[in-house]
């Protein structure tokens, strides 16, 4: 019998996040808005005065810290409320007001960078000598002054800040279409029984051993996206255009350069990733051939690539079981780490199950001044158990940075965000593999590990290549249409998956359902993060305490130095292709073990 999706009001509170840990009520949030506006007004009062004296510069920087300390929680509350039920008009209004506040704040404080850059070097040096407390902000000042070639006049900066609300529009439109408006026909299994198809249930269906259910879910999902292909193309085109607009306005070579400069990552790392994955495509093609053989399929389709290659071994994992596995798998990280994990489990950091209108997918939102909040759509699968440790990896990374660093340096760069989450996944897999030598169960787990490589390292790199192409088309003045997007996306799937899979026309529409294309060159970091995480998890298991100490130092580092240096301190150098190549050699060796286990049957 089909399981219905409950309304938000019907969900047991113990499986929802403790949103009142931020504010006791919505009314309290609205009251806080007055405080936030006062803090912004205080910082804005320094306009025209940053170069006046060391005391004035210090006062402004402290005022900015006060905004960040209170504002993180303020913004987080509104966005988390909106994600609980994207159809709730009151919370959508609250989210919009929070977004408007950010835009207003950006306009009011747009003078910061131009004024900092206008201060002569000798004056800045004199300020540091005159006011020792400024030393705390040396890195902040250095980072701002590094942007001089890309900073405009105060008037132009204010104009760009005012355009910030428009820049959010493509993501907002995509979210409303994808999460609130789109509904899908039921998927039908091999027995003719209907199952409600949602974003939350789709992955579970395509991982099913029931091929009829997999195909039905696949075709039902994409038939719906196909009806909105032109709208989706227009929204994605608008996203790429707004990124190019800001890149051009700030005199960057490309939107990619603009995005990666913000995170202090050289663009060579992006290109090195794509090149390294291309060099290792033969391993992916070998994996697809193995999958086709083990599934016994005359023709392998895209709705087959998530299905387990080992039948009868699917692992149902309840939320309680997943928490217990997490405790055991993450034990190598030490008692301190486990204590934070347990705090998250006991004190409702996590919004566990799907409800009607809830934002799809999963994420962790960490905010200074409050504990992290983790959104899941848990459906009792092994994949969900891995998602739990993944998101708790993010959460504990945020927790350690927020409690170790001052508000000035607590917010780690996006580039390192996926390392902690994926390291947890790798540790969970190593733990599960260590619990069994039974060939079929081991083969099932290796199958899952291989899928992590496929979906995280290969697939996210394919996404990154597609996003780079989209951006390049806009930069060249070419139009992004449904036809051109589908054509390019289909070509990339053929390149990455090879000749042993059928060219299902539906897969060319997959770009229309990927929210990360609205995150500004984010997806490549899943792949680089995965490669780093493989290296770090193996070092932790191999070396123990010294590796754990370095790793926890990395998690506690915030943005106290650049992300590449933080990773080097933890023991991995992602400025070279070596971590990606090493990870994909492990992938190839796992395929060999899988082939060997399959030969024993």
Between the CA atoms of 508, 421, 66 and 130, what dihedral angle is there, to the nearest 10 degrees? -110
Smallest CA-to-CA distance from 330 within 528, 537, 526 is with 537
The catalytic position among 391, 425, 451, 467 is 391
Taking the C-alpha atoms of residue 396 and residue 498, their distance in angstroms, rounded to an integer, is 38
Between the CA atoms of 300, 306, 312 and 318, what dihedral angle is there, to the nearest 10 degrees? -170
Task: Please give the C-alpha separations between residue 289 and each of 285, 403, 601, in angstroms, as whole numbers.
Answer: 6, 48, 18
Q: What are phi and psi of 558, to 5 degrees?
A: 55, -130
CB distance 140 to 239 below 8 Å: no
Q: H helices within 330-456, ranges in order?
A: 335-346, 382-404, 417-434, 439-452
Question: Which residues 6+ apart lie within 8 Å of 100 measured at CB?
Answer: 165
CB distance 412 to 70 below 8 Å: no
Taking the C-alpha atoms of residue 197 and residue 218, their distance in angstroms, rounded to an integer, is 10
CB distance 246 to 168 below 8 Å: no
Bridge-based pairing state of the strands 187-188 and 194-195: antiparallel
Taking the C-alpha atoms of residue 227 and residue 229, their distance in angstroms, rounded to an integer, is 6
CB distance 309 to 447 below 8 Å: yes
Structure tokens at 415: 């580039």
Assess whether 391 carries a catalytic annotation. yes
Q: What are phi and psi of 94, to 5 degrees?
A: -60, -45
Taking the C-alpha atoms of residue 512 and residue 510, their distance in angstroms, rounded to an integer, is 5
Q: What are phi and psi of 373, to 5 degrees?
A: -125, 130
Taking the C-alpha atoms of residue 170 and residue 179, their distance in angstroms, rounded to an integer, is 14
Q: What angle do CA 272, 495, 446 make, to 5 degrees?
A: 80
Q: Which helix (H) or strand (E) holds 373?
A: strand 373-375
Task: Please give the C-alpha separations between residue 597 and each of 85, 292, 353, 387, 542, in angstroms, as whole numbers.
Answer: 45, 16, 36, 27, 25
- Residues for the chain: how many in total? 601
Smallest CA-to-CA distance from 352 within 325, 381, 374, 321 is with 374
Taking the C-alpha atoms of residue 542 and residue 317, their distance in angstroms, rounded to an integer, is 28
Taking the C-alpha atoms of residue 464 and residue 485, their distance in angstroms, rounded to an integer, is 14
Q: Which helix (H) or strand (E) holds 238?
A: helix 229-249
The strand pairing partners of 363, in sequence order, are 375
Taking the C-alpha atoms of residue 76 and residue 418, their distance in angstroms, rounded to an integer, is 20
Structure tokens at 217: 């879910």
**Residues involved in catalysis:** 391
């Amino acid at each position: 019998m089909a399981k219905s999706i409950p309304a938000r009001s019907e969900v047991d509170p113990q499986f929802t996040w403790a949103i009142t840990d931020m504010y006791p009520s919505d009314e309290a949030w609205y009251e806080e808005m007055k405080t936030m506006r006062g803090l912004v007004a205080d910082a804005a009062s320094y306009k025209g005065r940053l170069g006046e004296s060391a005391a004035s510069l210090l006062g402004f920087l402290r005022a900015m810290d006060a905004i960040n300390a209170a504002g993180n929680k303020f913004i987080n509350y509104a966005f988390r409320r909106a994600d609980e039920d994207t159809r709730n008009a009151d919370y959508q209004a609250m989210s919009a007001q929070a977004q408007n506040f950010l835009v207003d704040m950006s306009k009011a404080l747009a003078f910061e960078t131009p004024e900092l850059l206008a201060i002569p070097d000798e004056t800045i040096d004199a300020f540091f000598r005159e006011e020792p407390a400024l030393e705390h902000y040396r890195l902040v000042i250095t980072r701002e002054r590094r942007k001089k070639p890309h900073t405009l006049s105060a008037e132009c900066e204010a104009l760009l800040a005012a355009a910030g609300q428009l820049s959010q529009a493509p993501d907002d439109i995509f979210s409303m279409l994808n999460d609130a408006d789109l509904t899908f026909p039921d998927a039908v299994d091999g027995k003719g029984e209907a199952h409600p198809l949602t974003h939350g249930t789709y992955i579970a269906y395509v991982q099913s051993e029931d091929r009829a259910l997999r195909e039905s879910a696949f075709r039902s999902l994409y038939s719906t996206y196909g009806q909105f292909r032109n709208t989706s193309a227009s929204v994605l085109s608008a996203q790429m255009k707004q990124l190019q607009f800001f890149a051009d306005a700030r005199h960057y070579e490309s939107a990619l350069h603009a995005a990666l400069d913000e995170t202090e990552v050289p663009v060579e790392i992006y290109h090195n990733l794509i090149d390294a994955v291309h060099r290792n495509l033969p391993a992916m093609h070998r994996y697809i051939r193995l999958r086709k053989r083990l599934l016994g399929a005359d023709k392998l389709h895209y709705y087959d690539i998530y299905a387990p290659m080992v039948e009868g071994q699917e692992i149902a994992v309840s939320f309680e079981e997943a928490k217990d596995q997490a405790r055991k798998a993450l034990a190598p990280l030490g008692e301190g780490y486990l204590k934070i994990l347990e705090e998250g489990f006991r004190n409702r950091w996590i919004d566990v199950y799907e409800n009607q209108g809830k934002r799809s997918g999963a994420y962790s939102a960490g905010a200074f001044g409050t504990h992290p909040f983790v959104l899941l759509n848990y459906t009792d699968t092994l994949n969900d158990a891995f998602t739990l440790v993944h998101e708790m990896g993010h959460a504990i990374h945020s927790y350690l940075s927020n409690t170790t660093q001052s508000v000035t340096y607590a917010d780690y760069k996006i580039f390192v965000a996926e390392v902690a989450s994926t390291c947890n996944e790798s540790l969970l897999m190593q733990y599960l593999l260590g619990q069994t030598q039974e060939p079929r169960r081991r083969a099932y787990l290796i199958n899952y590990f291989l899928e992590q490589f496929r979906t995280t390292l290969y697939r996210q790199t394919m996404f990154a290549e597609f996003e780079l192409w989209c951006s390049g088309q806009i930069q060249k003045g070419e139009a992004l249409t449904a036809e051109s997007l589908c054509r390019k996306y289909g070509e990339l799937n053929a390149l990455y998956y090879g000749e042993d899979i059928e060219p299902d026309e539906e897969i060319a529409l997959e770009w229309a359902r990927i929210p990360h294309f609205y995150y500004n060159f984010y997806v490549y970091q899943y792949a680089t993060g995965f490669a780093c995480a493989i290296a770090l998890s193996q070092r932790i298991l191999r070396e123990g305490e010294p590796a754990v100490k370095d790793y926890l130092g990395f998690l506690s580092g915030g943005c106290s130095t650049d992300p590449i240096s933080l990773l080097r301190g933890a023991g991995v150098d992602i400025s070279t292709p070596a971590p990606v190549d090493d990870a994909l050699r492990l992938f190839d060796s796992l395929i060999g073990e899988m082939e060997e286990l399959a030969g024993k049957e």
